[in-house]
C-alpha cells in the first residue's frame, strides 16, 4: 500500500478519494512538524499547500514520486530538484480561479469605497464620518491586469461585464484574448493609464519586485494596487513609502513577501491598505474542487505508472 502525506489541512474529500483507492493517508496537520517531515520521507506521494519543500527536505524523500500542489503556485517547491530526481509536480489549474477573482474584487471594492477607513471613523466620530472622504466608482474606469491566465481572465471578464471597465492586459504569453481586452506590450503604458492594477502572475526571477519605486512613480495618485498573485511581486518597503507619501490611493494584498506576516508589520497600520492571509482561495466551493483535483492527480499518476 502506497503512503501519501498531506502536509497541511485540506478538505476531507481528498482523504476519501485516496483511501477509497487503497492509499494510506497521513494527515500531516495532526502531527508535529518533525513528525510530518518523517512521514514525508517515507511517502510515495504528497499533497502540499504552502509549506516549503526545498532540496534539504526533498533529498531525504527517497520514495517520493509525485508532489500534488494544492493550488497552482509552485514557488514553495524546489522544482529543479524534483525534475532532476524524477519527482512529478502536479498542480490544480482553474480549481480556485473564481474564488481568487472574486476576492480581487472584494479588495478592490472595499478600497475604492474606503470601507475600512469609514467603518473605523463611524465608530470613532459617529454619523458625520460620511462626509470625511469621497469614494471612487469602478464603472467605466480602467483596470490594468498583469497576467491573463485562469484568474486574470476572470478578473477581466468581471471588470468588463460587471462594471463596464476598460481592460488593459500585459501578458507576454497571451495568444488569444476577448475582443474587449486591449493587450499592451509596454508595462509603463499600463502603469500610467490604469486606475486599478491587479497582479496575477507567478513569482520567478523575472517577476520578483516587478512593482517597486520606479513603477509606483508611474502610477496615478488615485491608483489602487491589488495583489492576489505572489507576495514577492511587490517591493513592500517601496509600497509602504508610497502609501505614507500618498503617491497611490491604496493597496489590497492577499499575499505578502513574508508569510505569515508579522503582526507588527506596518502594512496593518494603514486604513487604505487591506491585508488578508492568503485567503482568496478559501471558499467552501474551491476547497472541495482543489482537494479533489489534488487527490485525483495522485490517483491518476499511480494508475498510469503501474
Instruction: Report, as residue numbers or ranges, the catalytic residues.
Output: 230, 259, 278
Distances (CA, A) of 255 to 100, 125, 222: 11, 32, 22
Cα(221)–Cα(41) distance, integer angstroms: 51
DSSP H or E stretch at residue 45: strand 45-48
Cα(297)–Cα(180) distance, integer angstroms: 35
Place of cell 506596518: 266
CB neighbours of 114 closer than 8 A, spacing ≥ 6?
Answer: 133, 135, 271, 272
* DSSP string over 130-177: GGS------TT-EEEEE--SHHHHHHHHHHHHHH--EEEEE-TT----
DSSP H or E stretch at residue 252: strand 250-253
Minimal CA–CA distance to 223: which of 111, 77, 92, 134?
111
Distances (CA, A) of 98 to 12, 34, 132, 194, 195: 21, 35, 34, 23, 22
End-to-end Cα distance, the chain: 13
Amino acid at each position: 500500500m502506497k503512503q501519501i502525506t498531506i502536509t497541511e489541512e485540506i478538505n476531507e474529500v481528498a482523504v476519501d478519494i485516496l483511501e477509497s483507492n487503497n492509499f494510506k493517508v497521513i494527515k500531516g496537520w495532526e502531527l508535529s512538524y518533525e513528525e510530518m517531515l518523517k512521514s514525508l520521507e517515507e511517502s510515495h506521494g504528497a499533497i502540499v499547500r504552502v509549506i516549503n519543500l526545498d532540496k534539504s527536505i526533498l533529498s531525504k524523500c527517497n520514495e517520493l514520486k509525485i508532489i500534488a500542489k494544492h493550488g497552482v503556485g509552485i514557488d514553495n517547491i524546489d522544482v529543479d530538484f524534483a525534475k532532476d530526481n524524477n519527482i512529478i509536480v502536479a498542480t490544480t489549474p482553474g480549481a480556485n480561479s473564481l474564488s481568487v477573482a472574486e476576492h480581487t474584487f472584494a479588495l478592490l471594492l472595499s478600497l475604492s469605497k474606503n470601507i475600512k477607513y469609514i467603518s473605523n471613523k463611524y465608530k470613532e466620530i459617529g454619523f458625520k464620518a460620511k462626509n470625511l472622504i469621497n469614494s471612487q466608482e469602478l464603472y467605466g474606469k480602467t483596470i490594468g491586469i498583469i497576467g491573463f491566465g485562469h484568474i486574470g481572465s476572470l478578473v477581466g471578464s468581471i471588470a468588463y461585464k460587471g462594471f463596464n471597465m476598460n481592460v488593459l492586459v500585459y501578458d507576454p504569453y497571451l495568444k488569444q484574448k476577448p475582443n474587449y481586452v486591449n493587450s499592451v506590450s509596454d508595462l509603463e503604458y499600463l502603469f500610467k493609464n490604469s486606475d486599478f492594477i491587479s497582479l496575477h502572475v507567478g513569482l520567478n526571477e523575472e517577476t520578483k519586485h516587478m512593482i517597486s519605486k520606479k513603477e509606483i512613480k508611474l502610477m496615478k495618485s488615485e491608483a489602487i494596487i491589488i495583489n492576489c498573485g505572489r507576495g514577492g511581486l511587490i517591493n513592500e518597503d517601496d509600497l509602504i513609502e508610497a502609501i505614507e507619501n500618498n503617491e497611490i490611493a491604496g493597496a489590497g494584498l492577499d499575499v505578502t513577501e513574508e508569510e505569515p506576516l508579522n503582526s507588527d508589520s506596518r502594512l496593518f497600520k494603514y486604513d487604505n491598505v487591506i491585508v488578508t492571509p492568503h485567503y482568496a482561495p478559501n471558499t467552501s466551493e474551491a476547497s472541495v474542487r482543489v482537494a479533489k483535483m489534488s487527490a485525483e492527480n495522485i490517483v491518476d499518476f499511480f494508475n498510469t505508472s503501474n
